[in-house]
Amino acid sequence: MVRILYNLLIAALLSKSYALPENYQGTTKEMISNLCIQKDPEMRSQDSYYNLIKYNKFDQPLTWEQSFTKFIKSCFYFSKANAIVPKTIQKNNKIKSKMDHNQKTQVLIIGSGPAGYSAAIYAARANLKPILISGHEPGGQLTITTDVENYPGFANTIQGPWLMEQMRAQVEKVGTQMVTDQVTQVNLKQSPFEVKTEKGHTYHADSIIIATGAQAKWLNIPSETHFRGYGVSGCATCDGFFYKGKVVGVVGGGNTAVEEALFLTNFASKVYLFHRRDQLRAEKMLQKRLLDHPKIEVIWDVAVDEVLGNDNPKDVTGVRLKHTKTGALQEIKLHGLFVAIGHSPTTALFKNQLNMDDEGYLIVKPGTTDTNIPGVFAAGDVADKVYRQAITAAGLGCIAALDAERFLAKFNLAEKR
Ligand SMILES: Cc1cc2nc3c(=O)[nH]c(=O)nc-3n(C[C@H](O)[C@H](O)[C@H](O)COP(=O)(O)OP(=O)(O)OC[C@H]3O[C@@H](n4cnc5c(N)ncnc54)[C@H](O)[C@@H]3O)c2cc1C
């Protein structure tokens, strides 16, 4: 009874002070979490009052005194637009924040894409108390796309940003310490490893999982950015399915572009390949398959000058091409444009410390996520130039956490559980 009254009071108080969506259907606990995030996104990444509330076992039966104390604390917190955090908590947070400037952990995860989040879930559930540094793109590459249809577990099409939000919530629920910051420097030559961040914090870690991903290279013309996710894509495996019976174009001349063009023939009625030279860089076997394919037409010596389309609803209707030798313009009607001019792995931080291939991808021991430095693991697109999918990145993140756990156990670095 006390609990019901308590929940009702909190709900009334919260809905008065903060805007919730009209169709909100979560529990009180979720509502508090959501409102905390709404109020201050930064708070969710700290071991703050938000986490105290979130993980303070709202789902367990409370005694009358506990309910009353929590209610008073919550009143303090939610009664003003600028939360008044109880003094004891403020004090704890100050101590914590001082500690944050120099923290030690068993597992430090760099990156918050599917690889980093999966690694965090496994490491946290192995009681390794991981810290995850999210970087400038919390949620990673999937946050810049719209429809996702190939991540298992969802019969209906889901949105990339929503999927990553779910992963983040799961990561926090299992107890990962999330930090909104960017790693600027790593020293892998000392043990424990040292990691410095943009906000001036230093972390010492017995093991590190690198999940900094990769960035698709884009043409960098405004119309491409405008239609990205609405007809312009960087991934045929991800989005080809949406172009059944339609006309598409692929930009590029290397293996990836040729493979993407061939893959797209499974769906599209016609596939153009636009290449800025008069010869492809792709392997000869692939070139032969491309040139022999009845659905594919290569347009040589052209660069995409502009992506053409509508705004209501937003969709692509064609491209304007510019001849690289004569400058002549030409328009081609199509429904989708796939930019396949390469990827850049985010590995500059690790230069001269970790082994990389000539394109900058981290090299791992086959079948593992082990880099050349014991205790440093790499997962996801940062070490995978072949598959580059959310599910493969997530799988590799899981492997990295298991590899880290074994490493810590082997060298007796895991704290007593
Ligand atoms: C437009 C687009 C659409 C896609 N659609 C699909 C799809 O439908 N299905 C699918 O399976 N895949 C899709 N992909 C591919 C998929 O998004 C990637 O394979 C996947 O996100 C890779 O995950 P990751 O964790 O390795 O890295 P990423 O998702 O790239 O995440 C890297 C993370 O590292 C962080 N980071 C980088 N540098 C630092 C630093 N110095 N300090 C701290 N953090 C750092 C970033 O902030 C980011 O959070 C798509 C990709 C793109 C670009």
Residue 94, both tokens:
């100050």
Task: Express each pLDDT in 156-168 by its tens digit.
Answer: 999 999 999 999 9
What mean pLDDT do residues 27-44 have? 40
Q: Taking a C-beta distance cutoff of 8 angstroms, is the pair 167, 148 a contact?
A: no
What mean pLDDT do residues 65-71 have? 57
Pocket test for ligand 1, best of 122, 132, 142 (most atoms within 8 A of CB): 142
At 39 the pLDDT is 40
Q: What is the mean pLDDT of the chain?
A: 83
> How much of the chain, in percent, has pLDDT values that exceed 90?
68
What mean pLDDT do residues 230-256 have? 93
- 359: how many CB neighbours lie within 10 A of its CB? 12
Where do the structural domains in the chain lie, given as residue ranges? 2-92, 102-215+344-410, 222-339
pLDDT at 193 over 90: yes
Q: Taking a C-beta distance cutoff of 8 angstroms, is the pair 379, 250 a contact?
A: no
pLDDT at 50 over 70: no
Catalytic residue among 238, 305, 370, 398: 238
Same CATH topology for 102-215+344-410 and 222-339?
yes
Query: Residue 7: pLDDT band by 50, 70, 90 thresholds?
Result: low
Left (φ > 0), alpha (ψ -120 to 50) or beta: where does 257 sit? alpha
pLDDT at 41 over 90: no
How far, in Å, CA of 404 to CA of 414, rounded?
A: 10
Name the more confident of 336 and 25. Answer: 336
| Half-sphere exposure (Cβ direction) of 279: Cα atoms closer than 13 Å | 3
At 415 the pLDDT is 63
Pocket test for ligand 1, best of 212, 226, 242 (most atoms within 8 A of CB): 212
Query: Residue 21: pLDDT band by 50, 70, 90 thresholds?
Result: very low
At 69 the pLDDT is 60
180 lines ligand 1 (CB under 6 A): no
Pocket test for ligand 1, best of 112, 141, 164, 165 (most atoms within 8 A of CB): 141
- In terms of Cβ atoms closer than 10 Å to its own Cβ (0-12, 13-18, 19+), residue 95 is exposed
> How much of the chain, in percent, has pLDDT values that exceed 70?
75
pLDDT at 18 over 50: no
At 17 the pLDDT is 43
Task: Express each pLDDT in 256-304 by its tens digit.
Answer: 899 999 999 999 999 999 999 999 998 899 999 999 999 999 999 999 9
At 190 the pLDDT is 93
Task: Express each pLDDT in 169-191 by its tens digit.
Answer: 999 999 999 999 999 999 999 99
What mean pLDDT do residues 388-395 have? 96
Task: Express each pLDDT in 83-122 by its tens digit.
Answer: 333 444 444 444 444 445 689 999 999 999 999 999 999 9
Q: Are strands 158-159 and 147-148 parallel, antiparallel or unpaired?
A: antiparallel
Query: Residue 413: pLDDT band by 50, 70, 90 thresholds?
Result: confident
Nearest by Cα to 356 from 341, 326, 378, 338: 378
Residue 182, both tokens:
């960017």
Alpha-carbon separation of residue 391 from 12, 150, 369, 405 (angstroms) = 41, 8, 16, 21
Exposure class string for 47-81: b at 16+ Cβ within 10 A, else e: bbbbbbbbebebeeebeeebbeebbebbebbbeee
pLDDT at 61 over 70: no
pLDDT at 377 over 70: yes
Q: How far is the CA of 143 from the centre of ligand 1 (A)?
A: 8
Query: What is the pTM (predicted TM-score) of this model?
Result: 0.71
Residue 299, both tokens:
């347009």
pLDDT at 362 over 80: yes
Q: How far is the CA of 183 from the centre of ligand 1 (A)?
A: 16
Q: Taking a C-beta distance cutoff of 8 angstroms, is the pair 404, 110 a contact?
A: no
Q: How far is the CA of 216 from the centre of ligand 1 (A)?
A: 9
Nearest by Cα to 379 from 401, 348, 354: 401
Superfamily for domain range 222-339: FAD/NAD(P)-binding domain (3.50.50.60)
Q: Does domain 102-215+344-410 have CATH number 3.50.50.60?
A: yes
Q: Taking a C-beta distance cutoff of 8 angstroms, is the pair 140, 116 a contact?
A: yes
Task: Express each pLDDT in 136-147 by its tens digit.
Answer: 999 999 988 788
How far, in Å, CA of 340 to CA of 233, rounded?
A: 9
> Is 398 one of the annotated active-site residues of the chain?
no
> Is 36 one of the annotated active-site residues of the chain?
no
pLDDT at 64 over 80: no
pLDDT at 37 over 50: no
Q: Give me the torsion for CA of 11, 12, 18, 20, rounded to 10°.
A: 60
| Phi and psi, residue 78, nearest 5° | -100, -5
Task: Express each pLDDT in 146-156 by its tens digit.
Answer: 889 999 999 99
What mean pLDDT do residues 241-249 have? 96
Residue 388, both tokens:
């580059």
